[in-house]
């Protein structure tokens, strides 16, 4: 059997597993749960090619459990029930419940996900679902509440480079060849950070070269690029690149380009809910308070496509995408939360000033919780100057209104109320 390189190099234990140290590092809660043999049903959420399937297999091996694998693309309720019935039969003999791994669980319908509930709740199976989509949107609440969600991160450049080195030195087929990786920039770019794609693209390029010494450089990779794209990007697998092009066209205020990339996604069979979610994010991240109606429009678009479905949803998506692209732009809200989160990470859990604290009990009132708080509506213009930040970060500015008519009025309002504090 001629296994692809990615399959031949698939790690079989955590020592071989690359990346995701926040999950599988020596002192992590996840690693300790695995080693204790007590792990709940879980959802692994992350981009393609970051090791979700591999981690599921390692978990099953670590727990010494049998693993049943289903793909949500070609499996249905009947397949799920067959696995559950087999698991119930084994339970009669006192064996540990098997692991049921469902790849792309976000593609399961509500009824298919419903069929898992009883077995997961009673522990007949330990479910491990893998998804590239936000489980909060794509996994039904009843099932999500019975699972822990773990996020897998993109591989770093060093992770991918180490993977290539391992391929050259450890793979039984490639180790027989004289391979030198002189440059890897084009190779890494072509892979898009997907480890599986990186290895399979690497193997395709190596095998395309004549026998003898193979020197991998950017020129060689670019020479094979069209062949690689034809092999690995059929049927809309440029999913994330095209989604990125759509959002960047909206951010750049180019409705022509936005509707073109939207058409590419629709013709590629992209899930309309996936597109609508990206538009919803862009409405807040790229437009924000420059035009608050954009968020309302995008949210209505999201709700509408969930109700309407294709082919009519394409019209709603086109209306939303062209509206967002033609709108004033501001990332002030996005930048504000980034700055605020960075400050929180740097300063930790600062105490809430006493005058801002809630005082539901007499003891708390005696401890001066809420004392000296000024109720804004008791004052002229519903405003009174007081400090709302902890002393340690007093005076820091997180929100800076953008240069557009809507946020200019916000800037003027803040200046009127706060004078120098909000003097931009």
Condensed to tens digits (0 to 9), the pLDDT of residues 183-216 reads 888 888 877 778 888 888 888 888 877 667 888 8
Does position 323 have pLDDT exceeding 90, yes or no? yes
Q: Are 118 and 76 in contact (CB under 8 A)?
A: no
CA 182 to each of CA 59, 105, 404: distance values in angstroms, whole numbers, following the listed order: 36, 39, 49
**What would the mean pLDDT of 22-34 be, rounded to a whole number?**
84
Condensed to tens digits (0 to 9), the pLDDT of residues 213-234 reads 888 888 888 887 666 555 544 4
Cα distance between residue 351 and residue 316, in whole Å: 47
Give me the pLDDT at residue 95, please: 59
Query: Using CA atoms in the order 399, 403, 408, 412, what is the torsion angle rounded to 10 degrees?
Result: 60
For residue 84, how many C-alpha atoms fall within 13 Å in the half-sphere facing its CB? 19
| Domains of the chain and any CATH numbers | 19-151 (3.40.50.300), 157-232 (1.10.8), 240-325 (1.20.272.10), 353-422 (no CATH)
Give me the pLDDT at residue 28, please: 85
Note if the pTM is more than 0.75: no
The confidence band for 93, taking pLDDT boundaries of 50, 70 and 90, is very low
Neighbouring-strand partners of residue 102: 70, 129
Condensed to tens digits (0 to 9), the pLDDT of residues 252-310 reads 998 999 999 999 888 877 888 889 999 999 999 999 999 999 999 999 999 999 888 88
Does position 361 have pLDDT exceeding 80, yes or no? no
Residue listed under structure tokens 């005696």: 366
| C-alpha 277 chain-centroid distance | 12
Q: Are 407 and 332 in contact (CB under 8 A)?
A: yes
Q: If we measure between CA atoms, which residue out of 53, 13, 55, 65 comes closest to residue 30?
A: 55
Fill in the DSSP letter of residue 177. Answer: S
Q: If we measure between CA atoms, which residue out of 317, 274, 270 comes closest to residue 298?
A: 317
Give me the pLDDT at residue 330, please: 92
Cα distance between residue 53 and residue 49, in whole Å: 9
Condensed to tens digits (0 to 9), the pLDDT of residues 106-151 reads 888 888 888 888 888 888 888 999 998 888 878 888 898 889 899 9
Q: What is the average pLDDT score of the chain? A: 84
Report helix, strand or coil for 33: helix
């Amino acid at each position: 059997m001629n296994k692809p390189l990615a399959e031949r190099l698939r790690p079989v234990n955590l020592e071989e597993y690359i990346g995701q140290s926040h999950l599988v590092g020596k002192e992590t809660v996840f690693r300790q749960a695995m080693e204790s043999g007590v792990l709940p049903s879980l959802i692994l959420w992350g981009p393609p090619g970051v090791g979700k399937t591999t981690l599921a297999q390692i978990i099953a091996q670590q727990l010494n459990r049998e693993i049943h694998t289903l793909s949500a693309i070609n499996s249905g309720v009947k397949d799920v029930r067959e696995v559950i019935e087999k698991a119930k039969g084994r339970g009669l003999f006192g064996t540990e419940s098997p692991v049921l791994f469902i790849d792309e669980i976000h593609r399961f319908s509500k009824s298919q996900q419903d069929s898992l509930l009883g077995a997961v709740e009673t522990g007949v199976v330990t479910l491990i679902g893998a998804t590239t989509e936000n489980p909060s949107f794509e996994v039904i609440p009843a099932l999500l509440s019975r699972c822990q969600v773990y996020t897998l991160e993109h591989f770093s450049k060093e992770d991918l480079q180490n993977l290539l080195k391992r391929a050259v030195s450890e793979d039984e087929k490639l180790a027989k060849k004289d391979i030198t990786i002189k440059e890897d920039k084009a190779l890494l770019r072509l892979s898009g950070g997907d480890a599986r794609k990186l290895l399979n693209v690497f193997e395709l390029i190596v095998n395309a070269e004549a026998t003898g010494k193979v020197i991998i450089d950017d020129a060689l990779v670019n020479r094979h690029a069209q062949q690689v794209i034809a092999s690995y990007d059929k049927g809309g697998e440029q999913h994330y690149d095209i989604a990125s092009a759509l959002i960047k066209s909206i951010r750049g205020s180019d409705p022509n380009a936005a509707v073109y990339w939207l058409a590419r996604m629709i013709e590629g069979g992209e899930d309309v809910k996936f597109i609508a979610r990206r538009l919803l994010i862009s409405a807040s991240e790229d437009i924000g308070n420059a035009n608050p109606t954009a968020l309302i429009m995008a949210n209505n678009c999201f709700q509408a496509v969930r109700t309407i479905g294709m082919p009519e949803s394409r019209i709603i998506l086109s209306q939303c995408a062209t509206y967002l692209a033609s709108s004033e732009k501001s990332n002030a809200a996005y930048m504000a939360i980034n700055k605020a989160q960075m400050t929180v990470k740097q300063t930790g859990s600062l105490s809430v000033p006493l005058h801002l604290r809630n005082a539901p009990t007499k003891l708390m009132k005696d401890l001066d919780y809420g004392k000296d708080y000024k109720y804004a509506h008791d004052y002229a213009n519903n405003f009174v100057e007081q400090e709302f930040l902890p002393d340690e970060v007093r005076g820091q500015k997180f929100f800076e209104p953008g240069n557009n008519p809507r946020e200019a009025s916000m800037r003027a309002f803040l200046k009127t109320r706060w004078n120098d504090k909000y003097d931009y």
